[in-house]
Amino acid sequence: MQFSAIVHNLVHDGKAPNYLTTGTWSEGALKEAQKFTACNEVATNIPNSYAWISEPEEWKINIDASYFHYCDNETI
């Protein structure tokens, strides 16, 4: 429920949040957020089995986003 609580508390004025998919937890957070709002996936490392993430210069960041979700402790 925490993933959906983040969306309900931080999305305002229909501004889509940014999500950086770095592993299982952030993938789950993105899927949950998509149930409630449109989301911008900045970058993903799913195709390379979570081994590395693209350089920040390559990210597709929406500067008008309501928040930026990043999980730096992917423990699974």
Place of tokens 């990043």: 70
pTM of the model: 0.89
pLDDT tens sequence across 6-56 = 899 999 888 999 999 999 999 999 999 999 999 999 999 989 888 889 999
How high is the pLDDT of residue 76? 67
66: left (phi over 0), alpha (psi -120 to 50) or beta: alpha
Q: Is 19 in contact with 42 (CB distance < 8 Å)?
A: yes
* Rounded Cα gap, residues 9 and 67, in angstroms: 11
